[in-house]
Chains A and B, each alone.
Chain A
Amino acid sequence: MSSGEPLLRVKDLVKHFSIDRGVMLRRNVGAVRAVDGIEFDVMRGETFGIVGESGSGKSTTARLIARLLDPTAGEVRFAGRDITALRGESLKPVRRELQMVFQDPYSSLNPRRTVGSIVAEPLVIHRVQADRAARKRAVQELLETVGLNPEHCNRYPHEFSGGQRQRVGIARALALGPKLLIADEPVSALDVSIQAQVLNLLRDLQRRLGLTMVFISHDLSVVRHMCDRIAVMHDGRIVEVASNEALYDAPRDPYTRELLAAVPGARRVRERTIPA
């Protein structure tokens, strides 16, 4: 499924957050090395997982790739182009092709706007589908793509359940026909019975639309289910990058092994589920 030149290349990426003290005389007293020199490629059509615990730098990495944060050093190349230094208007074309799905479907949707206008917003900002009727059709199609009733485009986010809201967030991310979808803990805020719906949807979309996906999660079982290759992050660094099979069947790094061993009862659930 992956071939040729990678869609995304990350080289020596570093992000330090400075810690400032003092009110009148602010001074820098140090830095948190959130991302501390990481490197990976994401091939076209692939789902690349980044797994790690809190503070590992996985979400910062997502935001750096999506250019929502400026890196301290290093390079992000997207579709063969260095996008590290792009800002403002010059970043706009990149944003069309690189979209993000966030963890919390409650805070990432504007509660005062209808679902239709939330999904239409990227189309308006990027001036595609200027014609109102065409835009409405596009929005309805998007809602249908993510398994929502297109007639519900006049409803507000609070009228939807958590899983449906996450679908709205995905529809918005798909509006501009991106090549790369960055999903940062897309199911962590959802109830167990709903997670599977959203995971299946993401997998299905990825195949149907030929999307490339960076999938970020703390949940090793979910990452195993979703990803072709996986990077394990710890303290701002990548400790291991491996194919799905290699990572779970023969983890090399001690930290990866520690993570896998810590998953509560996951193996036992399976053992217990298989009738003798």
Chain B
Amino acid sequence: MSPFDGADTPEATASPPPSAASPGAMRSASPDSGPAEESLLRVEDLRVTYATEDGTVQAVDGISYELGRGRTLGIVGESGSGKTVAALSVLGLTRAEGATVSGRVSFEGRDLLALEESELRAIRGDEIAMVFQDPLSSLHPMYRVGAQIVEAIRAHRDIAKAPARARAIELLELVGIPEPSVRVDSYPHELSGGQRQRAMIAMALSGDPKLLIADEPTTALDVTVQAQILALLSRLQRERGMALVLVTHDLGVVAEMADEIAVMYAGRIVEHAPAERLFAVPEHPYTWGLLRSIPTLDGPREELLTPIPGSPPSPLAPPSGCRFHPRCPYSEPEHARTDPALEPVPGRPDHEIACLLSSPTRRRLWKELA
């Protein structure tokens, strides 16, 4: 039964936890969790809605999560689940688009949602940095890569151009770009996709961030390049004690990278657990569906996959009650009316779940499935 309490298998953590505090202590953040340091990022009841021509989209519908220093949270979900908005709202990046944002986002005790745009700008790109899926759309095509990194450095630090350029070369070297003193003068189109993503990461590191938010950072890359970029992110994180929020649709990527995983569905977090636990004893039927529907490199070949029936709901018209109930094989009539809250599994404060089935029922069902 080791998976039931095995949250700390060595290979589970691409980067070793920086403090002795278990993820559970970190997440509960109660006074009795002892001297565990305060979490770096705490998101409480975040809600983001957009007004569109077709109606109001509730992109994120009351999510809460916490992240300790140096740790990695993987946010997993399909398109429209709200995973990207959940991460980018932290930076106020949803403000400009006519979105309504409510809730609290505290970063080292400061409420980011209450800050002025100018104050937020001082944090963004400095203490909190971002890496996006497509480096081509994030790097300016007409400026040399080095110049863009210099600009990023000088936006937050009062230093002259020459030392900033030296720093840019250092950063390019740090992210593994060959001949950094030559490449610093390259234009983005002269770099390969993997190198552009490395350059983006170099730029993100220019302010020595405490938190890096990476939105599908390897989705556009080939599998061999993806492996290199993930290894790079792990190394940088380990060396710098940087926390990472990794947004992805790919369970393989979070399996490799994350300390803890939040599974999102229709704007909500439906399950949140330490990575080991999520894969060993997942409790949400949607998580089961995801795990059972992906082919793996060493599963049985002849078996048919078990797809999740139906399609992800439109964010314009999310289902009533439990949002997963129309696709859930275990739903009962009552589940269309009652909206489950995200609550800890009995006896496991670090494993939260939003499901109307009882915990014993869920464990029994998963045992039957697995």
Contacts and interface: CB of A to CB of B under 8 A. Distances in A.
Interface of A: 53-54, 161-164, 191-197, 199-200, 203-204, 218, 220-222, 224-225, 244, 248, 258-276
Nearest to B224: A262
B268 to A, nearest CB: 16
Nearest to A203: B304
Contact of B279 (A191, A196, A273): A273
A161 B309 CA distance: 13
Contact of B293 (A162, A193, A259, A262): A193
B29 interface: no
A276 B3 contact: yes
A193 B279 contact: no
A191 B222 CA distance: 18
B226 A267 contact: no
Interface in B128-183: none
A53 B297 contact: no
Nearest to A248: B297
A262 B281 CA distance: 26
Interface of B: 1-3, 11, 78-79, 218, 222-224, 226-227, 230, 249-257, 276, 278-281, 289-291, 293-299, 301, 304-309, 311-312, 366-367, 370
Contacts of A54: 222
Contacts of B230: 264
A269 B1 contact: no
A101 B56 CA distance: 35
Contact of B294 (A162, A269, A274): A269
Contacts of B250: 264
B297 A200 contact: no
A192 B256 contact: no
B347 to A, nearest CB: 18
A266 B296 contact: yes
A265 B255 contact: yes
Contacts of A200: 304-305, 307
A50 to B, nearest CB: 15
A265 B11 contact: no
Given A192-B249, A264-B253, 4 more contacts: A191-B79, A267-B298, A268-B256, A275-B280
25 contacts: A191-B311, A191-B312, A192-B290, A193-B289, A193-B290, A195-B307, A196-B307, A199-B295, A203-B304, A259-B223, A259-B224, A262-B223, A263-B227, A263-B297, A264-B250, A264-B252, A264-B253, A265-B251, A265-B252, A266-B297, A268-B11, A269-B279, A272-B278, A275-B366, A276-B3
Contact of B311 (A53, A163, A204, A220): A163
Given A191-B79, A263-B252, A269 B291 contact: yes
B192 to A, nearest CB: 10
Nearest to A194: B311
**Overall SS of chain A's interface:** helix
A244 B300 CA distance: 12
A183 to B, nearest CB: 15
Contacts of A276: 1-3, 280
B1 A272 contact: no
Contacts of A248: 297-298
A269 B293 contact: no
A220 B297 CA distance: 7
Contact of B281 (A191, A195, A224, A275): A275
**Which of B230, B250, B307 is the most central at the interface, judged by chain A CB atoms within 10 Å of its CB?**
B307
A272 B275 CA distance: 9
Contact of A264 (B1, B227, B289): B227
Contacts of B222: 53-54, 218
A46 to B, nearest CB: 15
Closest 9 pairs between A and B when the two form their complex, measured CB to CB: A272-B279, A265-B255, A196-B307, A225-B295, A265-B256, A196-B293, A262-B227, A196-B305, A53-B222
Contacts of B304: 200, 203-204
A225 B303 CA distance: 8
Contacts of A261: 227
Given A273-B370, A276-B3, A218 B223 contact: yes
Contacts of B299: 225, 270
Contacts of A203: 304
A273 B299 CA distance: 10
A267 B305 contact: no
B57 to A, nearest CB: 17
Contacts of A264: 218, 223, 226-227, 230, 250, 252-253, 255-256
A213 to B, nearest CB: 16
A271 B281 CA distance: 12
Nearest to B258: A265
B222 to A, nearest CB: 4
A194 B256 contact: no
A107 B366 CA distance: 39
A162 B80 CA distance: 13
Given A191-B78, A193-B312, A196-B305, A270 B298 contact: yes
